[in-house]
């Protein structure tokens, strides 16, 4: 399978070298950059957490595309514009330890940083702003509202609104920004599936450990400090480690 060939056969040493030399890094957001799970938290905020959780488990059982699952979960939540605005104020995102330092370091090294998520732009925008990531480097889903502010669906033209969307985003980044080497960092199976076209995948388990990701990722970390340390290694340290 392409997933196994691209993720499982890559050595940790090769991936660490790729990480140091990468032109761009794509981060998943929920349970990676932040500790939160946006849609689940929004559902709890709206009082329908258990119903959405049940639908999520049903979707994970198979036979349902990502878009179908997203559609059904949002039809349960039916978030209004005002509810989303209140949620953002009442429930600010909690950053994962050392992520701000890591992204600041990547920026200082002139590496392009992107956020790629199945979550929602309105909720993730404050996260991107706090990390000094431009909006054009944020790939997320967009909620639609009617004139009265009631829920009206989501933008189905977004690459991240369907299965395999993260891989399509990586290819789009390579094609649009002429980026040669991309590393994807994330906690979930959909993040792992972005490699290829991403050149490398680093599994993250600082908030939740996904068994399949821990098993299949050649490099699995639970603290972003490990990624910082690799970027700050001297040439001598690399050759003697």
- Give CA–CA dist 36/184, Å, rounded: 19
- Is residue 28 part of the annotated active site? The answer reads yes
- Give CA–CA dist 226/210, Å, rounded: 19
How wide is the angle at C-alpha 163 spanned by C-alphas 194 and 184, nearest 5°? 20
Catalytic residue among 23, 30, 36, 191: 30
Q: What is the CA radius of gyration of the chain?
A: 18
Contact between 115 and 99 (Cβ < 8 Å)? no
Torsion angles phi and psi, residue 112, rounded to 5: -75, 135
Catalytic residue among 28, 36, 187, 191: 28
Q: Is 52 helix (H, G, I), strand (E, B) or coil?
A: helix
Neighbours of 155 (CB within 10 A): 13
- Is residue 229 part of the annotated active site? The answer reads no
Contact between 18 and 182 (Cβ < 8 Å)? no
Catalytic residues: 28, 30
């Amino acid at each position: 399978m392409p997933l196994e060939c691209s993720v499982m056969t890559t050595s940790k040493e090769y991936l660490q070298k790729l990480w140091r030399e990468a032109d761009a890094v794509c981060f998943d957001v929920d349970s990676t950059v932040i500790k939160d799970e946006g849609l689940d938290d929004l559902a709890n905020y709206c009082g329908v957490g258990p119903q959405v959780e049940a639908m999520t488990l049903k979707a994970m059982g198979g036979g349902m595309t990502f878009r179908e699952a997203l559609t059904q979960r949002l039809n349960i939540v039916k978030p209004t514009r005002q509810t989303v605005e209140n949620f953002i104020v009442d429930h600010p995102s909690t950053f994962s330890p050392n992520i701000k330092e890591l992204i600041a370091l990547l920026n200082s090294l002139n590496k392009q940083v992107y956020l790629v998520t199945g979550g929602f732009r309105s909720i993730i925008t404050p996260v991107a702003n706090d990390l000094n990531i431009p909006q054009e480097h944020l790939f997320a889903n967009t909620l639609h509202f009617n004139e009265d502010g009631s829920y009206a669906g989501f933008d189905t033209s977004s690459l991240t609104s369907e299965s395999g969307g993260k891989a399509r985003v990586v290819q789009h980044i390579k094609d649009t920004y002429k980026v040669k080497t991309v590393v994807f960092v994330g906690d979930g199976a959909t993040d792992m599936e972005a490699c290829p076209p991403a050149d490398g995948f680093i599994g993250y388990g600082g908030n939740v450990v996904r068994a399949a990701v821990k098993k299949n990722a050649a490099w699995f970390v639970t603290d972003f400090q490990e990624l910082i340390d690799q970027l700050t290694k001297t040439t001598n340290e690399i050759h003697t480690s």
